[in-house]
Amino acid sequence: MSKLQNLIDNNSVWAERIAKEDPDFFTKLAEQQNPEYLWIGCSDSRVSADAIVDLMPGEIFVHRNIANLVVHTDLNCLSVIQYAVDVLKVKHIIVCGHYGCGGIKATLDNDRHGLIDNWLCHVHDVIRKYKNYFDILTDDRKRFEKLCELNIIEQVANICQTTIVGDAWSKGQDLYVHGWVYSLEDGIIHDLDVTIGEGDSHQEILQIATEKILSESN
């Protein structure tokens, strides 16, 4: 089916159903968006932001990339964060990684996939940061899970360090950063307890969450 008629057909059924449930839905959304959340997640097709938190179009602003990374020089991600925080005034930034992440696995296994390997250098940095821990952790499943979790903590820290979030907090803006991990096996999201808001001690919260992750594997 070269023209993807199946997707076009799905869309028309969906649009009809939504309009039947709320005749003003599309008219209201066409005028403005007012999402309360910014989602930074993995591109993985199984971790669809709107679907797994059961939100409708207009409710969540989304940025996704492989391994849900927030890189300080990534103009794309920074622009999304800046627009979400400064213009849309979202109240929550959620970094949601997931267990079973192919990007994390490729990093752990040192697989070569091409250009993507360079992007995943940022995940290698996380391994290097916790080298002593990973050196003695031999259980492959645990290594995989823990790297997924530690990578999320790292991205939360990166968001908190941006001038965008720092400036918003110094202006007293109501804004929280969260770190979550999603399980592909049961569809459940786990909070990594790394929620940081204005006035909170980032370092302390990040450290407690990190220590919890590191200790759970023993």
Exactly one of 35, 37, 39, 42 binds Co ion (CB under 5 A); that residue is 42
Would you call 121 a catalytic residue per the annotation?
no
Question: Of the ranges 13-21, 41-49, 107-115, 122-130, which one interacts with Co ion (CB under 5 A)?
Answer: 41-49
Region of residue 18 (phi > 0: left; psi between -120 and 50: alpha; otherwise: beta): alpha
Q: Token digits for 118?
A: 């360079």
**Pairing outcome for strands 37-42 and 92-98:** parallel
**CA gap 5, 11 in Å, rounded:** 10
The one catalytic residue in 9, 22, 46, 167 is 46
Would you call 202 a catalytic residue per the annotation?
no
Would you call 77 a catalytic residue per the annotation?
no
Closer CB to Co ion, 181 or 213, in the complex: 181
The one catalytic residue in 77, 96, 101, 160 is 101
Whether 85 contacts 37, CB under 8 Å = no
Would you call 17 a catalytic residue per the annotation?
no
44 touches Co ion by CB under 5 A: yes
Closer CB to Co ion, 104 or 168, in the complex: 104
**Pairing outcome for strands 176-182 and 189-191:** antiparallel
Site pattern 83..122 for Co ion (x: CB under 5 A):
------------------x---------------------
Buried b (16+ CB within 10 A) or exposed e, 46-66: ebebeebbeeeebbbbbbbbb
Contact positions toward Co ion, by CB under 5 A? 42, 44, 101
Active site residues: 42, 44, 46, 98, 101
